Each structure stands twice: as C-alpha cells, then as structure tokens.
Structure 1
C-alpha cells in the first residue's frame, strides 16, 4: 500500500554519484537542508513516459519554479549513477539534478519501492512527486495504484498548479530550420533576444521537406510555431514579436 508521507521528514540516505572520474557521496542533509526542493521519482531511466514527458517538462519549467522560490528540482530513479548521468546527457536536461538511488534505499524509505519483476525491472520506484521544505515533505502527488504506469498527477504542471496557480508558463516554441539558412539564424536570434526558449528541428537531420509541407503547409524555412500556432517565417516572427510587445 503506497502511503502519502506529507508532513514527514525525507529519508536520510547517501546517494552514490559520479562526477567525471570521481565518486562523490551526497547525503539527504546536503541536498535538502535549508532548501525548497521539488522531487519527482519515476520507474526507470530511458523508459518511454519518463523520457518523453516527465523529465522534459520539469526541465523546461525549472526557471518558472525558481521564480517561485524553489532552489532545485531533483529527479530520482532506482538506477546507478552511470545510467542516470548518460540519461541526463541524452535528454540535455541539465537544469535538473539527477540522483541515482541504485540500491533503492531512498525509495524504500519513502515507502515507494514496488516490484516490477514481471517487466524484468526488479524493484523500482512508484511514480510520484513532492515539494520538500528544509527536509520536510509539504505536499505529495502520488499516482493511483492501478495496473501499468499511470502518469496523471506527478507531472510538472500539476506541481506548478499547487505551488503557484497564477504563474505564467513558458511558451512552447519550435522552429524548423536548415543548415546555412541566414533567415533561420535571424529568427533564432530574435527568439533568443525575446528570451523565448525553443526547440530547433534541422532539415534532413530531424525532418524532411515532406514533413515540412505536411505540418506547416510550406516549402521554405524557417517555420516557427508557438503554442500550436504557426507564426511563419522570420519576417512573420518579427511582426508577431512586435505585436506581443505592443
């Protein structure tokens, strides 16, 4: 039975981490003392939901959380430090601290260790998130105890909704580009100057012209999308940014 441990102190354990060529031990005390920390824990590194949704959205919202007084966002998984380090690199999620709970000690202390042996995973963490203030759990969001791998309440947006319901979220921006395109460079510079983070998709590396035609109904780049809306090329982006500032 999964237990909500709101109001309790977090487990005191030592995390075995690897930085470069050195082993570095980090204690719960070092990570949580005198800090406001968001923790989200998940079944495993490189698994589908964890890689495609859970980690990327938390990584994207780190500046928003920091603006609300959060000192750090931490991802915990029952994996060793080598796996966690490689996963962080693969996702380019450097705004988050990745903590390896290789022996499951922290997860067991949280009462969240579950048997995933039927998947060949062994003992892993149930999916949850929590806000910890100076080592004490203020709020937990625990996924329902149902079959499979539910992902409904431990997400970054739910946590932000609890922490600061009125906080503005960063816009979701994607730009289709190609190498050597000066208009693409101009568009990226405008987005950077507007402090708008974006995901760049490069022609013949991430997509083909067929995809560009299918998605944007266009044959030229750049093509910029904001929040599901097509803005257009670099001139269109300049006009749109001007209208947002007006």
Structure 2
C-alpha cells in the first residue's frame, strides 16, 4: 500500500450527500473549499476509540485557536453515513466541527487514501490523516505512517496548529468537578464563562465518578474542584483568586 501525498494539488471534485436541518443536501467540493482556508482531519470511523477520545475532541477544543489563525472551517471526514456522523457530533458536543460523511468513499478514493479494513468488518474506510486546504488546493498533509493497526502520531490538532502558527496561543484545558444543585459550582462556572474560558464539566454521580473519586484526585470532598492544565486550583474561591491574579 502506498498512501498518496497530494500537497500542491486540488482536492477531489466530488458531490457528497449529507443532512442539514433534517433535510438531505448535496455538498460539492467547491462549496466546501473554494475561497476558504479549511483544515480537514479524516479518520476510520465515528464512535471508534481513538477518534472519540482524542482526535475529534482536541480539534473541537482548539477550534477558536484555528479561527484566530485564519482558518474558516474545520472538517471531520469519515466513511460513515450522515445519520451516524450527526449522532457522533451530538454525543461529542462537537459544535465547532463540520461533520462530513463520505458515505461512498468518493472523496477518500479521490485522495488515494481509501483503504481496505475488511478484516475488522469495516469494509473500505479512510486512512487517518489531516490536511490544510487553501482555496481548494492542498498546502500541507500529515498522513499517519503505513503500519499495522490504527496509528495516531501526526494528524492531531496540535501538530496542525503548530504548522499553521508555532506561536499560536492555545486555550487552557480546564476541568470542573461538581454536583447538581451546588451553588458554588454555579458561581465557578459563571466565572469561567465570564472570562471566556471553555471547560469540561464532570458531575458527581455520573459515569462512575463518586465522592471517593473526587477525594482521590483532589484530596477534598467538597465541590466544585477545578483543575487547569492538570494543576489542582481548588474551589470557587480559589478559582476567583486565580482569575484575578491572571488579570
């Protein structure tokens, strides 16, 4: 298998059936790319482990940084049907990403990156890669190495953003662990929102997260507990102090 690098070439001219506002629509390559700066990341399948845990979430997280550096649209492409892609976007809360179903594999085939994954029962799927497209012409591609399995080494969001601007400011990773009905949690979330800081919210009692879990990771059993870039900040009072010191 020789995976194609199409840097300097135009994207394939295809028509992709998809869904918008509950209706079928057909998107052409020109509608997707003409006159725009677009980042595309392609992956083997919706709801698959690496795609759901890392690939899609980080692009969604870094979308504001991409926009600040001249990117008009971020597209997630997979050889799945529109209904699956729509359900995956909702599950992932991927509001910053355009989910593009390449249901027949036409775009991936035109890219030379449609591969046979029949051994997994997947049929033909896209190889994992990312690319920067300016006005329909591919400027840069990051194609995962041709090795067994599903490598994920170079098509990540950070690698692409670093290519576009090595000095790009990236949003901090913020996690708030709270519980329903917690007034201090509401205050902390309001403070984060007022400062334009996106955050992941984990609620005690959901997805196996318990007070014991909270105590294990923070040393406390009160809520909220806030972590910024992996550093434990503390509760709402400590967060407000951190935000004040940040200026």
Pairwise same-fold verdict (TM > 0.5)? yes
1:94, distance to aligned residue in structure 2 (A): 1.5
State the partner residue of 1:221. 223
1:21 and 1:126 mapped to 2: Cα distance? 29
> TM-score if structure 2 supplies the norm length?
0.98
1:181, distance to aligned residue in structure 2 (A): 1.0
Deviations 1:44-67 (A, max 9, x none): 011000011000000111111010
2:73 and 2:213 mapped to 1: Cα distance? 38
Once the two structures are superposed, the pairs formed by residues 78-97 of structure 1 within 5 Å of their partners are: 78-97=79-98
**Runs of 4+ that moved beyond 3 A:** none
| Segment drifting more, 222-231 vs 200-209 | 200-209
1:197 and 1:94 mapped to 2: Cα distance? 13
> TM-score if structure 1 supplies the norm length?
0.98
State the partner residue of 2:233. 231
Deviations 1:16-42 (A, max 9, x none): 011243210010010100000000000
1:122, distance to aligned residue in structure 2 (A): 0.5
Question: Which ranges in structure 1 are unaligned for 5 or more consecutive residues?
Answer: none
Aligned residues: 245
1:91 and 1:200 mapped to 2: Cα distance? 13
Deviations 1:157-216 (A, max 9, x none): 000010010011000000011111111111111111111100111111241101001111
1:16 and 1:138 mapped to 2: Cα distance? 26
1:242, distance to aligned residue in structure 2 (A): 1.1
1:21 and 1:188 mapped to 2: Cα distance? 32
Q: Tell me, yes or no, if structure 1 residue 243 matches structure 2 residue 226.
A: no
SS class of match (1:129): strand
Q: Tell me, yes or no, if structure 1 residue 212 matches structure 2 residue 240.
A: no
Q: Tell me, yes or no, if structure 1 residue 108 matches structure 2 residue 117.
A: no
| Segment drifting more, 174-183 vs 104-113 | 174-183
